[in-house]
Chain A
Amino acid sequence: MINTRLTPKQKGIWALIAVVVFIYALFPVVAIFANSFKTPADVGAGTFWPQNWTWQNYEMIFVGQAQTLFLSALRNSIGITLISTVIAVVLATLCAYAIARLDFPGKRFILFTSLAVSIFPVISVVTPLFNLWRSIGLYDTWLGLIIPYLSLTLPISIWTLSAFFKQIPWELEQAASIDGATQWQAFRLVIVPLAAPGVFTAAIIAFFIAWNDFVYGISLTSTEAARPVPAALAFFTGSSQFEQPTGAISAAAIVVTIPVVILVILFQRQIVSGLTQGAVKD
């Protein structure tokens, strides 16, 4: 439409816009990246870039004194987030399949419930869970976080997947049956490949949301047994009480950010369609 032939002036304007947007979107990330390479002296110097680049912050969290704290938090985060993502996506796939494919009373009610759950203030749920988990022994355990994480991951998965599944031409399944495939074969060979991208999209979004959690993480854990990375970052203390562990926190922040940003860049198309399909779809 407008991008037929650009005048040099238009090119210049677009280049300028791109630079402004890039700075806006990336500046805080670059700032914390720069922090992660600063020595304690540089941290206090108030400059943007380190005066002397150093790996000591990364050493501290991977092999140094913050190792147990950080590595256990990383392990907890990866494990708890992956397990709750898998459970959510499996349950949501079954649910969304039923909603898109079958006609049964209560369909709209299920969608409405998942919407209601997704607007729930986590803080309203966390106090009773805190009490309950302490009395039944789930406090500070993986399971004690996996269960509440489902309240974050299930609704968005159900919405994304049911929007996605509604666009699948289910007649193909019947056509395959007529051609002699059993119902299971028809489902497995025709529908599953069509549904796979949607399931994958839901999984990525659910993973992000669980990875981002903070309130459950700080409220329902107390030790390295289950405390996930975001919560561990908040409770990080320096080598002495007078020294803020700015560099180490920044390094840890970069470590947990890079994989997620790579996922975002690789799968931006899916993420965009998944996020927007649920709320504003055609």
Chain B
Amino acid sequence: MSTATTDKRAKLVTQQDRRRQEVRLGWMLAGPAFVVMLLVTAYPIAQAVYDSLFSLRLTAPDERDFVGLQNYLTVFSSTDVFWRAMIVTVLITVVAVSVQLVIGFALALLMHRAIARLRGPLRTAILVPYGIITVVSAFAWYYMFDINSGFVNSWFSWVPGISEEMDWFAETWSALAVIIASEIWKNTPFIALLLLAGLAQVSDDLLEAAKVDGANWWQQLTRVVIPNMKAAIMVAVLFRTLDSFRIFDNVFIMTNGDAGTEVLSLLAYRQSIMRLEIGLGSAVSVIMFVCVVLIAVIAVKGFKVNLAEGTGSNAGQKKETK
């Protein structure tokens, strides 16, 4: 009798022990990565928040004054610098992501439906821009349009508005157009790949059923395919939006913010690293951080993308097919 209860208890103890061991092992294995991620991001952002409350220039480090929210007021009241950069950034993001979504979807459909012999080469070609570093892509586009080295002017001089002497990087709109074009070209592969994965998850049965019911190609696309891959689309759009909002490399290379193309990242970089105005620069950095978090939260809440599950598409699909 008593041996049976001790046995049971011993079993319970070992079970608890094992459980505790598993938890410990789990954190031992996952802990280092977790700690490193926190150290390289949480600490600096906390420091940026702290620094943003001071009037601080690296050129005069002794004149460090606590100014509260003064830096933020300064930033928010500078219509021609901060708000302009904000508008330019949002404009680039909206245009680039929408065009990327359309081209990316077209490329995904192509890869999905391509004849077997073309599938490999098509995918390879589409992946090439992904492998090009952003700075190189920026230079490639810059040199194509540049007034000295570019051939675009001489090729397209028959187009109204384009002449041999056109300086694309001297005007806001033309400079922005080239910046956005390079952004689209470089990042469309990413969207195309995510959408291709989403396409693969649209069940053939549903498509067959739609075909039997007499739906034409467009109806199949808009009524069956797109609703069933909504989650993949949302994930792709969210990631690209967050990324485009942080745009820096191509603007730095092509115009360095001249001709009214300054974006938020560049503004923050210039304030802190170039002009060593750490207080003001940190305030811009913190504002950007808050914007990114807001975009993510709105997307996750508003569109019910379940990012913590890592899928979204599964959850979304189940809901759709119910």
Quick one: closest B residue to A6, CB to CB?
B115
- Determine, out of B7-15, B91-99, B188-196, the stretch whose residues face the partner at the interface: B188-196
Docked-complex contact A233 and B135, CB < 8 angstroms? yes
Docked-complex contact B273 and A2, CB < 8 angstroms? no
Docked-complex contact A282 and B48, CB < 8 angstroms? no
Chain B positions 251-308 with a Cβ under 8 Å from a chain A Cβ: 252-253, 264-265, 268-269, 272-273, 278, 281-282, 285-286, 288-289, 292-293, 296, 307-308
Q: Complex Cα distance A150/B40, Å?
A: 8
Docked-complex contact A214 and B25, CB < 8 angstroms? no
Residue pairs across A and B with CB atoms within 8 Å: the count is 310
Determine how close the nearest CB of chain B comes to the CB of A113; give it in whole angstroms.
6
Q: Complex Cα distance A209/B190, Å?
A: 13
Which B residues lie within 8 Å of A127 (CB)?
Answer: 44, 48, 51, 268, 272-273, 278, 281-282, 285
Q: Complex Cα distance A249/B232, Å?
A: 38
Contact pick for A29, options B25, B128, B193, CB 8 Å: B128
Determine how close the nearest CB of chain B comes to the CB of A215; give it in whole angstroms.
6
Docked-complex contact B44 and A214, CB < 8 angstroms? no
Q: Within 8 Å of chain B (Cβ to Cβ): is A196? A: no
Which B residues lie within 8 Å of A18 (CB)?
Answer: 118, 121-122
Quick one: closest B residue to A281, CB to CB?
B311
Q: Within 8 Å of chain A (Cβ to Cβ): is B116? A: yes
- Determine, out of A53-61, A103-111, A170-178, the stretch whose residues face the partner at the interface: A103-111
Docked-complex contact A44 and B296, CB < 8 angstroms? no
Determine how close the nearest CB of chain A comes to the CB of B25; give it in whole angstroms.
6
Q: Mark B31-69, 1 if CB is under 8 A from A, else 0.
A: 011101110110111011001000000100000000000
Which A residues lie within 8 Å of B198 (CB)?
Answer: 280
Q: Within 8 Å of chain A (Cβ to Cβ): is B23? A: yes
Docked-complex contact B129 and A25, CB < 8 angstroms? yes
Q: Within 8 Å of chain A (Cβ to Cβ): is B168? A: no
Q: Mark B109-134, 1 if CB is under 8 A from A, else 0.
A: 01001111010011111111111111
Docked-complex contact A271 and B127, CB < 8 angstroms? yes
Q: Complex Cα distance A268/B4, Å?
A: 60
User: With A104-B23, A128-B282 known to touch, is A46 a contact of B153 (CB < 8 Å)?
Assistant: yes
- Determine, out of A64-72, A184-192, A253-261, the stretch whose residues face the partner at the interface: A253-261
Docked-complex contact A131 and B38, CB < 8 angstroms? no
Which A residues lie within 8 Å of B30 (CB)?
Answer: 94-95, 98-99, 104, 106-107, 110
Determine how close the nearest CB of chain B comes to the CB of A9; give it in whole angstroms.
13
Which A residues lie within 8 Å of B169 (CB)?
Answer: none
Q: Complex Cα distance A14/B119, Å?
A: 11
Q: Within 8 Å of chain A (Cβ to Cβ): is B27? A: yes
Docked-complex contact A280 and B143, CB < 8 angstroms? no
Q: Within 8 Å of chain A (Cβ to Cβ): is B154? A: yes
Q: Complex Cα distance A199/B264, Å?
A: 36
Which B residues lie within 8 Å of A211 (CB)?
Answer: 133
Q: Complex Cα distance A196/B172, Å?
A: 49
Q: Within 8 Å of chain B (Cβ to Cβ): is A151? A: yes
Q: Complex Cα distance A24/B242, Å?
A: 25
Q: Complex Cα distance A98/B143, Å?
A: 48
User: With A104-B23, A121-B289 known to touch, is A28 a contact of B193 (CB < 8 Å)?
Assistant: no
Which A residues lie within 8 Å of B70 (CB)?
Answer: none
Docked-complex contact A119 and B296, CB < 8 angstroms? yes
Docked-complex contact B310 and A95, CB < 8 angstroms? no
Number of interface residues of B (CB under 8 A): 103
Q: Within 8 Å of chain A (Cβ to Cβ): is B246? A: yes
Which B residues lie within 8 Å of A43 (CB)?
Answer: 148-149
Docked-complex contact B307 and A95, CB < 8 angstroms? no
User: With A102-B25, A129-B44, A280-B231 known to touch, is A95 a contact of B34 (CB < 8 Å)?
Assistant: yes
Which A residues lie within 8 Å of B311 (CB)?
Answer: 280-281
Contact pick for B37, options A32, A155, A253, CB 8 Å: A155
Docked-complex contact A44 and B148, CB < 8 angstroms? yes
Q: Within 8 Å of chain B (Cβ to Cβ): is A225? A: no
Q: Complex Cα distance A147/B43, Å?
A: 13
Q: Within 8 Å of chain B (Cβ to Cβ): is A47? A: yes
Docked-complex contact A46 and B193, CB < 8 angstroms? no
Q: Within 8 Å of chain B (Cβ to Cβ): is A275? A: yes
**Can you report 29 residue pairs joining A to B where beta carbons are below 8 Å apart?**
A3-B116, A28-B144, A31-B144, A46-B149, A48-B155, A95-B32, A98-B25, A114-B33, A121-B285, A121-B292, A123-B285, A124-B289, A125-B40, A127-B273, A154-B37, A162-B310, A214-B248, A233-B139, A250-B143, A257-B136, A264-B128, A265-B124, A265-B127, A268-B127, A279-B197, A279-B310, A280-B231, A280-B313, A281-B197
- In the A-B complex, the 6 residue pairs with the smallest Cβ-Cβ separation, listed nearest first, are A104-B26, A128-B47, A276-B197, A264-B131, A98-B29, A95-B33
Give the interface of A toward B (CB within 8 A): 2-3, 6, 14, 17-18, 21-22, 24-26, 28-29, 31-32, 35, 43-44, 46-48, 91-92, 94-95, 97-99, 102-108, 110-117, 119-132, 147-148, 150-151, 154-155, 158-159, 162-163, 208, 211-212, 214-215, 218-219, 229-230, 233-234, 244, 246, 249-250, 253, 256-257, 260-261, 263-265, 268, 271-272, 275-276, 278-282
